[in-house]
Structure 1
Amino acid sequence: MKFNWFKKIIKDYPKFWETYLSYFDENQSKDKRYVVFDCETTGLDSETDRILSIGAVAIQNNQIIVGDFMEVFLQQDIFKPESVPIHGILKEGKEEKIVEAEAVIRFLDFVKDATLVGHHVAFDIEMINQALDRLEVGRLKNQVMDTDVMYQKLKYLPEEQHASLDELCDIYKIKKSDRHTASGDAFITAILFLKMKKQLMI
């Protein structure tokens, strides 16, 4: 029997991933939607650390859609007590916790094909991508915007000059409510994003 070396190998992906990919069909009508999100994590190493919680809120027509949000807490297979003072999430806290796979699937279902927004968002994106890798699927396909980069463009700053979320909250007089919680940071970043989006006229 002759083996066809050029036969295309098609991988069978799980339904949730096929559904997520379908949102990027070029034939679909686009209603511009942004999702501002944040991940609280056990640390800053995207390969060895894990997500503790994800908070996200949607923006459409230059308005934060308060009813269009998500927040999940993840079961902690890796627990680092030294990080608790930062995010306040206990291993056996009062929050309902779900497994990583379910959290990521919910995240994909929420964001769909929206433009993802965050502060120093590359880290959060990579944490999600690492979780997707553990599910043996692809990486996020969404367009991405970073509020730090937006500020650099506004002030003509060099790429290596970064501003923290706290600094920008002070500059734009944004109240830092629920700071260092995923949902709180997502909401703060959403307000910051809208202020700078207006200045940049995008």
Structure 2
Amino acid sequence: MPDTTLDHLGAPKGGWLGALKRQWLLYHLGDPRYRFMWDPAPPQEWVSIDCETTGLDRRRDEIIAIGAVRIHGNRILTSERLELLVRPDKRRVSADSVRVHQLREQDLAAAMSIDEALPRLLHFIGSRPLVGYFLEFDVAMIDRALFPMLGMGLPQPRIEVSALYYEFKDRQRPPLERGRDVDLRFATMMRELGLPLRDAHDAVNDAIMAALAFVKLRNLR
């Protein structure tokens, strides 16, 4: 299962090793204007993110939409959401991916470049921990695009909603039945948590649903 041990809800681990790593990363940061990402995170704040892509190949496919929404305590600040369409540089939008997210090449012709989108995303996130559903893929796609700009990927702690959900379901089992598989599909998770299911494979909708699940699971802990 994905790691959720970052204070379990996103606070970065402290200690001298953490401070040493922070200094090393800041020294090697490709653009000092983004030092703010290593600042202390605002208390009780997170950012839920989601990306839509031209496909599922982390090495070759590209981001075509980014959705993000801020969370403050138990509030999801939908009025402060970020919604970006991104024009792919090299990869064509496959028919399979269009069927998933309904974004065609003509829909993206006038969209911003990834180089324009990334600064907006970084300023929106700030130093807040990241929340998401199968977040590893989204962060990998962002990091690949970000590396030429910063020489490194996103430094923020990450909270995997599907892992929190797995732990929640596993705790409900008798001790001898713990550790077994759990249905981690998005629709199943939202239904089991009694949360509304918005249109999936829309970056903002997926970010909001992940935020809803995070807030609910955080309170259930």
Tell me if TM exceeds 0.5: yes
Structure number with the higher helix fraction is 2
Give the gaps of 5 or more residues in structure 2. 1-26, 171-177
Give the letter for the 1:54 counterpart: I
8 Å CA contact 1:32–1:114 kept in 2: the answer is no
Q: Which of 30, 43, 51 is the matching residue for 1:39?
A: 51
8 Å CA contact 2:48–2:131 kept in 1: the answer is yes
Give the letter for the 2:158 counterpart: V
* Higher mean C-alpha deviation, range 97-106 or range 130-139: 130-139
| Length-normalised TM-score, structure 2 | 0.77
Shift of 1:21: 2.2
For the aligned residue pairs, the C-alpha RMSD in angstroms reads 2.2
Alignment-derived partner of residue 138 in structure 1: 152
Alignment-derived partner of residue 115 in structure 1: 129
Alignment-derived partner of residue 198 in structure 2: 177
The C-alpha deviation readout for 1:11-68, integer Å capped at 9, x for no partner, is 6833xxx23223423xx57433100110011111111111110000000021011221
The C-alpha deviation readout for 1:96-153, integer Å capped at 9, x for no partner, is 5100111111111100100100011111111110111233521111010011110111
**Identical counterparts, % of pairs:** 27
Distance 2:220 2:132 in 1: 17
| Length-normalised TM-score, structure 1 | 0.83
8 Å CA contact 1:38–1:182 kept in 2: the answer is yes
Give the gaps of 5 or more residues in structure 1. 1-9
Alignment of 1:1-202 (within 5 A): 13-14=30-31, 18-25=32-39, 30-77=42-89, 78-79=91-92, 80-93=94-107, 96-135=110-149, 137-156=151-170, 158=179, 161=182, 163-200=184-221
Bigger CA radius of gyration? 1
Count of aligned pairs: 186
